[in-house]
């Protein structure tokens, strides 16, 4: 991409700010932001954000930071770093990369479906393919803590529970949106629903 993805401009803020905002609006109790490259700048963007109002950060809802010094070793190191910063007992764990922006409504639907399903893992699905966010039952925490690049990360956990996955059908490709290239980023800016309330 030629720049730090979390710091990309995204509808009047940085991408990481809008991601955290969307997760909070979807009802996530604790949002853990895992930093790596340019971690100080990402942490400053989140810590100084004006998007997280009292209405979003109420009760026990909060945003926590975790730095991953081993980010160059793969995504699984960030998953493990994030889990280490969370309480040991959780009802459910949602995993979403910063370059996979999702409207709050999408995440809320996936979370609600997961809670109603009683299944160990939930994934949105579009056109026969899985998407994100992935949601795991808190009982799978030990399996998530053991993910590694050698074992294909979260794919291994999903395969282990393949017969029990709760698939949530979507008719919108947004559940598979991934900002991997400058062209994908520019295209997403034109099609992603503007999260700003005045728009």
Instruction: State CA 121 to chain mean position distance.
Output: 15
User: For residue 161, what are the domain limits?
Assistant: 5-190
pLDDT at 103: 97
Q: Determine, yes or no, domain membership for 197.
A: no
| pLDDT tens, residue by residue, 168-177 | 999 999 999 9
Q: How far is CA 35 from CA 2, 7, 44, 55, 192, in A?
A: 17, 11, 11, 25, 24
CATH code for the domain in which residue 54 is found: 3.90.550.10
Q: Determine, yes or no, domain membership for 199.
A: no
Rounded to a whole number, what is the distance in angstroms from the first to the last CA of the chain? 28
pLDDT at 2: 61
Q: How far is CA 163 from CA 94, 133, 140, 175, in A?
A: 19, 19, 15, 21
Q: Is the separation of the CB atoms in 138 and 94 below 8 Å?
A: no
Q: Determine, yes or no, domain membership for 69.
A: yes
Q: Determine, yes or no, domain membership for 196.
A: no
Q: Determine, yes or no, domain membership for 195.
A: no
Work out the angle at residue 121's Cα, subtended by the Cα atoms of residues 23 and 92, and round it to the nearest 5 degrees.
45
Please tell me the distance from the alpha carbon of residue 18 to that of residue 22, in angstroms, as a whole number: 6
Report residues of the chain scoring pLDDT below 70: 1-2, 198-199
How many structural domains compose the chain?
A: 1
């Amino acid at each position: 991409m030629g720049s730090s993805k979390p710091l990309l401009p995204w509808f009047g803020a940085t991408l990481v700010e809008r991601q955290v905002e969307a997760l909070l609006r979807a009802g996530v109790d604790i949002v853990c932001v895992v930093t790596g490259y340019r971690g100080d700048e990402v942490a400053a963007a989140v810590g100084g954000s004006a998007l997280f109002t009292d209405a979003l950060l109420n009760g026990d809802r909060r945003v926590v930071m975790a730095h991953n010094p081993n980010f160059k070793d793969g995504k699984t190191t960030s998953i493990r770093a994030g889990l280490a910063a969370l309480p040991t007992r959780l009802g459910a764990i949602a995993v979403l990369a910063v370059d996979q922006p999702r409207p709050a409504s999408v995440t809320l639907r996936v979370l609600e479906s997961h809670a109603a399903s009683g299944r160990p893992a939930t994934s949105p699905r579009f056109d026969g393919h899985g998407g994100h966010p992935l949601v795991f039952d808190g009982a799978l925490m030990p399996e998530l803590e053991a993910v590694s690049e050698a074992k294909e990360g979260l794919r291994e956990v999903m395969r282990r529970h393949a017969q029990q996955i709760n698939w949530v059908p979507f008719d919108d490709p947004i559940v598979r949106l991934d900002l991997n290239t400058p062209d994908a980023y520019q295209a997403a800016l034109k099609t992603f629903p503007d999260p700003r309330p005045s728009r």
